[in-house]
A = this chain, B = another copy of it.
Amino acid sequence: MKLTSLSEITYLVEDELKQFNELFKKSLKSKAGLVDLVARYILRQKGKKIRPVLVLLSSKISGGINERSYRGATLVELLHTATLVHDDVVDNAEKRRGFKSINAVFKNKVAVLMGDYLLARGLMLAVDGNDFDFLRVITNTVKRMSEGELVQINKTRKLDNDEETYFRIISDKTASLLSTCCEIGARASTKDENKINAIKEFGENLGMAFQIRDDILDYVGTTKLFGKPLGGDIKEKKLTLPLIHALKNSGNGESKKILSAIKSGGNKLDIDYIVDFVKRHNGIAYAENVSKKFAEQAINNLSIFEDTEIKSGLQSIVNFVVERKN
């Protein structure tokens, strides 16, 4: 099937998602007034729930959904929510999913503490379920995600990045969590390390393809309601794959000019000029090609599984991710 939106895929685990939602809501409950208030604010926002869906699909394809799958799905969604809340502080963001961000409504203070609280609640769920294997995976992911963001900040401040570092950054900050979703889903339902590794690699490659596509859309996307504005990365001085490639491919003189334009920033920054530069030097086509290669690898990772509706569902996710227009 061809997806026109990622949320279409949820029909494969519709009933299971309801059970996940119950557990997620329960995990956010607190007797402390402010905690409960912020938790209810978070619940109103309803994300795409793509991470729990990945856990559930990975669990289903590896042996079947069970109690541990639900805990795994809730754990990753709590961690994901925690990082979103912290990211909004990090980015001084005013909006999230069409709502005002937690930091905008309740101030940074509350957002930082609420992120810590959400992470702790997720970890406690794994502790209470004796899911030591989940804890092993998830703590490493928290480390990689924060480290990836910190490396990106450093590269941004220095306005210096290369392909190798770019791949490490997006692997740490984005692909690691998607890979973790798949791994946890599989670990919930099988001990077969071949299956676990295959689906874990699937998640990693899916994540890489997804993030590269995301970075391409910063140059060619259509701005939509609540979406990222075009050229946002350039304004934030983030050098992503299309630009990294174009800079490498262009003459030294032009590359210096582009970098100094980005460095100066502000109102003088001509986004159209930089987008045009990236296009002229093949940056978009190159990045699209790389994104598609990761997507192909993701599809290949699924080859050890039997052909089922779930498997085609996972393939549809990959195809959607590299073809999406916003």
Q: A103-129 toward B: CB 8 Å interface, digit per residue (1/0)?
A: 000001110111111011101100100
Bound-state CA distance A123–B108 (Å) is 25
The oligomer's copy count stands at: 2
In the complex, what residue of chain B is closest to A90 when comparing beta carbons? Answer: B109
Structural contact, A32 and B123, CB atoms closer than 8 A: no
A244 at the interface (CB under 8 A from B): no
CB under 8 Å from chain B, chain A span 48-95 = 83, 86, 89-91
Report the minimal beta-carbon distance from A250 to chain B, rounded to whole angstroms: 27
**Are A150 and B34 closer than 8 Å at their CB atoms?**
yes
A7-38 to B contact mask, C-beta < 8 Å, 1/0: 00000000000000000000000101111001
Say yes or no for A154: interface residue by CB 8 A criterion: yes
Does any Cβ of B come within 8 Å of A136's Cβ?
Answer: yes
The answer to whether A30 touches B147, judged by C-beta atoms less than 8 angstroms apart, is: yes
Q: When A32-B154, A35-B147, A150-B34 are in contact, do A112 and B124 touch as well, CB less than 8 Å?
A: no
Are B121 and A108 closer than 8 Å at their CB atoms? no
Contact A135 B150 (CB under 8 A): no
Please report which residues of chain A, range 141-177, place their CB below 8 angstroms from some CB of chain B when the two chains form the complex: 142-143, 145-147, 149-151, 153-154
Q: Which of A83, A110, A130 has the most chain B CB atoms closer than 10 A to its own CB?
A: A110
Docked-complex contact B114 and A139, CB < 8 angstroms: no
